[in-house]
Structure 1
Amino acid sequence: MPTITPSLWFDLQGEEAAKFYVSVFPNSEITSVSYYGEGAPRPAGTVLTVEFVLDGRPFTALNGGPDFTFNEAVSFQIHCADQTEVDHYWTKLSEGGEEGPCGWLKDKYGLSWQVVPTVLNELLTDPDAERAQRAMQAMLGMEKLDVAALRAAADGTA
Structure 2
Amino acid sequence: MPLNNITTCLWFDGCAEEAANHYISIFSNSRITSIQRYTAAGKEHHGHEPGSVMIVEFELNGHKFVGLNGGPQFKFTEAVSFMIHCKDQEEVDWYWEKLGEGREGDCGWIKDKFGLSWQIVPNQLKKMLSCEDAEKSKRAMEKMLTMGKMDIEGLEKAFDGQEQ
TM-score, shorter chain, exceeding 0.5? yes
In the alignment, the residues of structure 1 paired with residue 73 and residue 133 of structure 2 have an alpha-carbon distance, to the nearest angstrom, of 48
Q: Could you give the per-residue CA deviations for residues 10-33 of structure 1, whole angstroms, max 9, x where no partner exists?
A: 010000000000000010000000
Which residue, 101, 109, 112 being the options, matches 1:104?
Answer: 109
In the alignment, the residues of structure 2 paired with residue 61 and residue 21 of structure 1 have an alpha-carbon distance, to the nearest angstrom, of 11
Alignment partner, residue 34 of structure 1: 36
What secondary structure does 1:99 align onto?
A: coil
Give the letter aligned to residue 151 of structure 1: E
Are 1:67 and 2:73 an aligned pair? yes
Which residue, 23, 26, 30 being the options, matches 1:24?
Answer: 26
Q: Please give the TM-score of this superposition, normalised by the length of structure 1.
A: 0.97
Q: Which runs of 5+ in 2 are unaligned?
A: none
Q: For 1:1-158, what aligned pairs fall within 5 Å after superposition?
A: 1=1, 3-39=5-41, 40=43, 41-95=47-101, 98-158=103-163
Calculate the aligned-residue CA RMSD, in Å. 0.9
Give the letter aligned to residue 33 of structure 1: I
Which stretch of the first structure deviates more once superposed, 31-40 or 84-93? 31-40
Shift of 1:8: 0.1
Q: Could you give the per-residue CA deviations for residues 136-158 of structure 1, whole angstroms, max 9, x where no partner exists?
A: 00000000000000000000112
Q: Please give the TM-score of this superposition, normalised by the length of structure 2.
A: 0.93
What secondary structure does 1:92 align onto?
A: helix
Shift of 1:99: 2.4
